Amino acid sequence: MDPQVKRALISVSDKMGLTDFAKGLVAAGVQIFSTGGTKRHLETNGVPVTDVSDYTGFPEMMSGRLKTLHPKVHGGILCRRDDETDMKSAADHGIEPFELVVVNLYPFEATIAKEGVTDAEAIENIDIGGPTMVRAAAKNHKFVGVVTAPSQYARVLEQIQENGALTMQMRRSLARDAFAHTAGYDAAIARYFAEHDGQATFQTNFSTSLKLSAELRYGENPHQRAALYVDPKFKGYSAANARQLNGKELSYNNILDLDAALAISRSFDRPAVAVLKHNNPCGAAVDDVLVNALRKAMDGDPLSAFGSILGVNRVVDEDCANLLAQPGLFVEAIIAPGFAPEALQILTTKPKWAANVRLLECGGEKFERAPLNWAVRPIAGGALVQDADVLADPEEEWRVVTEKEPTEAQMRDLKFAWEMVRHVKSNAIVLCKDEMLVGVGAGQMSRVDSVEISVKKSDGRCEGAVLASDAFFPFADGIQAAKGVVAVVQPGGSKRDQEVIDACNELGVAMIFTGRRHFKH
């Protein structure tokens, strides 16, 4: 039989909704015990409260560090009602059982996110008593319900009001959430110490703290479940924390493409647009005028651009909206720092696809090139963790290895192409002209195949274009297949580098070695 909820221990930092919840408990006949700020909050709002110190006979001390760490508190949470020894110990020592524990923890993540927070402030916001009570209650969920978030108040109160108790199913669910809550809390603390201390080596235990943001319709395919989790500490521009202004619900694949599109556009200081299809760019461009960058990006591969996802590094303006609303164009989603009111009006009313297009405003506190520290890839039985490949390469390390040097215009295109190729699945080849993507060869098992595909996709525009390769050319055939290309940028490092250089010299093509590879598997 489910234990009747007679006594509740409440100690919370986030007091949202607490007064109504506590009043509901009292009305249902529940006696409330509390401490410190929570007790004062409840008393101020007319809720009768028993002070934990009066119950334990032990005062709060050490500036609040020691409040609930007492056998009469934890004995009341941990005692097993069906164990004669536990119940005798409780009776012998005046321990009263608690059937409900309501605790949310010191705001550690909110504290460390503040500008100028000191190490001492961060450490004082590491909760000790709270997690201890939460874990104790979750462990003893056979008899105790544990509430760790205001979002749980309504359903908990409803059961207590109806039955005077919580069902085992409810207590088990709350316990599961509680352990996830404390695990995430500890992960955030571990990450703070690693980051704050400048830890250069990998941690013995890799941990992170992510919060469930949304359950998605399905994953990559309809038979796969999926959900979006967010990092509450991250305050920059991202697809994860973007605000959807219009359109259908986002899918798993939409979010992947939105993230990739934003990663490309945010790589450039000048106005930039990236056009994504199946997590590879089929168009991208920069220009001094945003609408020109958009036009060039959409023209990169008009066929593939149909039904694509766009990433923009400026507020989408009216000119851009009018261009996208032209007949024959169709986009699935657009992510940008914002949308001008006129642009939003056009995009949500004018095109045939206006009702469904997903418009995401990714406004954050900062639009930075490199928002990631780690790249994590799950594998069966574990995960691979590496530095994220997001930082710009030092151009002072680049060297021209051919007889011919690139012109100033070619150099601009080479820099653009080198930035783009890191965003394409390897083996990756990109062709660029006038700071615009004109051909892409992605994900082929042979580099020369990628070259041939990029030339084909360029639809004749490879004449006078530059080529970027994410890794070295193992043979000269890749260069020989790049018909019309006038300059090449690649890492170098092959045993046959000289053969590749010789091929460039024979064709009158300039080539730069960067010394750095950009595989994207």
Beta-bridge mates of residue 214: 228
What is each CA distance from 91 to 82, 184, 354, 371, 510, in whole angstroms? 14, 36, 69, 56, 88
Cα(355)–Cα(347) distance, integer angstroms? 9
DSSP string, 198-211: T--SPPSS-----E
Classify strands 331-336 and 243-246 as parallel, antiparallel or unpaired. Answer: unpaired
Backbone angles phi, psi at 467, to 5 degrees: -125, 140
Which distant-in-sequence residues (6+ apart) come within 8 Å of 212 by Cβ?
Answer: 227, 228, 229
Per DSSP, 484 falls in state T
Is 278 part of the annotated catalytic residue set? yes
Q: Which of 301, 251, 293 has the alpha carbon at shortest distance from 276?
A: 301
What are the φ/ψ torsions at residue 205 (nearest 5 degrees)?
-120, 120
**Cα 154 to Cα 147: distance, rounded to the nearest angstrom:** 11
Give CA 179 to chain center in angstroms: 22
367 and 337 in contact (C-beta within 8 Å)? yes
Choice among 15, 278, 350, 404 that is catalytic: 278
The Cα–Cα gap between 504 and 405 comes to 11
- With H, G, I as helix, E, B as strand and everything else as coil, classify residue 297: helix
Cα torsion for 175, 176, 178, 184, to the nearest 10°? 160
8 Å CB contact between 457 and 424: no
Q: Is residue 469 packed enough to be buried (19+ CB in 10 Å), middle (13-18) or exposed (0-12)?
A: buried
**Torsion angles phi and psi, residue 371, rounded to 5:** -80, -5
Taking the C-alpha atoms of residue 348 and residue 384, their distance in angstroms, rounded to an integer, is: 41
* CA neighbor of 11 nearest in space, from 78, 80, 59, 69: 69
Say whether 139 is catalytic. yes
Helix (H) or strand (E) holding 441: strand 437-441
| Residues 141 and 171 sit within 8 Å (Cβ to Cβ) | yes
C-alpha–C-alpha distance, residues 396 and 409, integer Å = 18
How far is it, in rounded angstroms, from Cα 4 to Cα 10?
17
Q: Cα(240)–Cα(228) distance, rounded to whole angstroms? A: 8
Joined tokens for residue 236: 């920059």
What is the C-alpha to C-alpha distance for residues 25 and 48, in angstroms, rounded to an integer? 11
Which of 23, 72, 139, 350 is an active site residue?
A: 139
The count of other CB atoms within 10 Å of the CB of residue 237 is 23
Active site residues: 139, 278
